[in-house]
Amino acid sequence: MKTIVTIAIVLLLALIGGSAFYIVKLSKQVSALQQQIKDLEKETSPFAKIPEDPYYDVKENQKGPITTIAFAKKEFDFGTVKENVLSNTSFTFTNTGTNPLLVSNAIGSCGCTVPEWPEKPIPPGGTGEIKVQFDSKDKFGTQVKTVTVKTNTEPNQTELIIKANVLAKGQ
């Protein structure tokens, strides 16, 4: 009986000692992970490595000279379209100012409205276009969507509007 108690005590101590070993090991791993997080926080943002552009800044959207923009139209109506159809239009604009015009972004109001914009600066007097594709998939009835165009102008945003009356498949 004494042997069984001795074995039980040895096993219990081994378990306690083993648990302590794993607790110490886990504690060291947690400390190492905390240090890695601190090191990562010290690193600079990946945006800090982007070369500075004299006309555009990611954070401010505008930096440097501003210009003016004029759109031939700011609204387009596709009329009646069927469901599950891709419709395309474009909005032509002119740089009416004296500095290069930069379109930094164009954002559709939903995933069904996808804009494309020129990547290169538009010189004074030059023209460009914002292409817009509207997907009528899963749409029905009157649809009014917007595209917000961000530029180095004052104001720095212009809103374009597209409209469509979408007929269901059976109509």
Q: pLDDT category, 16, cuts 50, 70, 90?
A: low
Whole-number pLDDT of residue 56: 43
Q: 3 vs 78, which has greater pLDDT?
A: 78
Q: What is the pLDDT of residues 88-141, one digit of tens each?
A: 999 999 999 999 999 999 999 999 999 999 999 999 999 999 999 999 999 999
Is residue 62 scored above 90 in pLDDT? Answer: no
Q: pLDDT above 70 covers what percent of the chain?
A: 64
Q: What is the domain class of 69-167 according to CATH?
A: mainly beta
Q: Per-residue pLDDT averaged across 151-167, rounded? A: 95
Q: Mapped to the 3 state alphabet, what secondary structure does the chain carry?
A: CHHHHHHHHHHHHHHHHHHHHHHHHHHHHHHHHHHHHHHHHHCCCHHHHCCCCCCCCCCCCCCCCCECEEECCCEEEEEEEECCCEEEEEEEEEECCCCCECEEEEEECCCCEEEECCCCCECCCCEEEEEEEEECCCCCEEEEEEEEEEECECCCEEEEEEEEEEECCCC
Bigger pLDDT: 63 or 170? 170
Split at pLDDT 50, 70, 90, the class of 42 is low
Domain spans in the chain, listed from the N-terminal domain onward: 2-43, 69-167
Q: Is the pLDDT of residue 46 over 50?
A: no
